[in-house]
Amino acid sequence: MVPVLSDKEFTGFSRMIFDQAGIHMNPSKKPLVSGRLTKRLNHHGLESYGDYLNLINTDGAERQIAIDLLTTNETYFFREPKHFEFLAQVIAPELRNRPNVRIWCGASSTGEEPYTIAMTLAESLGHMRFDILASDISTRVLETARKALYPIEDAKDIPREMRIKHCLRGVGPQEGWFLVDKHLRDRVQFEQINLNGQLPEMGPFDVIFLRNVMIYFSPETKSQLLPKLSQFLRPGGYFLISHSESLHGVTNQLQMVKPSIYRKPENTT
């Protein structure tokens, strides 16, 4: 018999994901929670979601699995392409003479976004003197990202010239897949980072991408997070969020260049 997720149990899981990741889950997410966690109940032979909630409250490894399952990781190559046009046409020319360009992709998911950034920089900078830190709270998606191996149909949004230069089509056992070339993989470092936890020493960055993340955060969480992130951005550095987001009323440390694109003033530290 399939257990039913009670309102009390859902509240427990929503509190856990908020405490751990700052993600707010409204009651409409109840079917998502029950659907994604059912296999873990079966795996442990548990009879109720309450039993599983008790387990993740005491078992850190299982709690990470639950976080991996409950976080949304929709992504694809060149998602919201206007940002990569801006990166190529505006930001890259400003950074071309910098000895080393540093980018942070703060919600890398399975890697499509940081590899898109890498392809764009390789083309627009005219050199490979750049490093990308790609982070996510989910260990599961980071494992996929490090492999850099994707179904061939996922390459459809990559411009043809970039596909030819930066992607390797699989043959034999890898037929139907493509691999991001090593010269780009070497420029991207993947790390697990919880944006709402203690952030490691890792700055400064010329650009921070944090797209399609803060839409899941409460206003209070966003107002606490932005100052922490801004300190890792160089004066004059850019901060990009998704087109469905805004920083209006959240921070005065970043100035809007255009909707979804912000910049740290030159005269700040």
Indicate if 137 and 223 belong to the same structural domain. Answer: yes
Residue 94, C-beta contacts closer than 8 angstroms, at least 6 positions apart: none
The closest alpha carbon to 105, from 92, 116, 94, belongs to: 116
Q: What is the mean pLDDT of residues 42-70?
A: 91
Question: Which residue among 70, 104, 123 closes a domain?
Answer: 70
- Band (pLDDT 50/70/90 cuts) for residue 50 is very high
Task: Answer for the pair 71, 21: CB distance below 8 angstroms, yes or no.
Answer: yes
Run of H or E residues at 69: helix 60-70
Residues spanned by the domain of 65: 7-70
CATH of the domain at 143: 3.40.50.150
Q: What is the pLDDT of residue 78?
A: 96
Structural domain contains residue 269: no
The closest alpha carbon to 132, from 193, 194, 185, 55, belongs to: 185
Indicate if 65 and 148 belong to the same structural domain. Answer: no
Q: What is the pLDDT of residue 70?
A: 86
Q: What is the pLDDT of residue 269?
A: 56
Indicate if 46 and 87 belong to the same structural domain. Answer: no
Task: Answer for the pair 235, 208: CB distance below 8 angstroms, yes or no.
Answer: no
Indicate if 49 and 146 belong to the same structural domain. Answer: no
Question: Which residue among 48, 70, 92 closes a domain?
Answer: 70
Burial of 240 by CB count in 10 Å (0-12 exposed, 13-18 middle, 19+ buried)? buried
Side-chain half-sphere exposure of 263, counting CA atoms within 13 A: 13
The reported pTM is 0.86
Task: Specify the DSSP class assigned to residue 137.
Answer: S
Indicate if 134 and 252 belong to the same structural domain. Answer: yes
The Cα 210–Cα 208 span in angstroms is: 6
The residue from 7, 15, 19, 36 that is catalytic is: 36
CATH of the domain at 55: 1.10.155.10
Percent of all residues in the chain with a pLDDT value above 90, rounded to a whole number:
67
The closest alpha carbon to 236, from 256, 210, 257, 264, belongs to: 264
Give the torsion sign (CA, 227, 11, 70, 20).
Answer: positive
Task: Answer for the pair 247, 254: CB distance below 8 angstroms, yes or no.
Answer: yes
Alpha carbon distance, N-terminus to C-terminus of the chain: 59
Q: What is the pLDDT of residue 192?
A: 94
Strand segments (E) across the chain: 101-105, 130-136, 149-151, 167-169, 177-180, 188-192, 205-209, 233-240, 255-258, 261-263
Number of domains comprising the chain: 2
pLDDT tens digits along 76-127: 999 999 999 999 999 999 999 999 999 999 999 999 999 999 999 999 998 9
The residue from 68, 136, 185, 263 that is catalytic is: 136
136 is catalytic: yes
Indicate if 121 and 147 belong to the same structural domain. Answer: yes
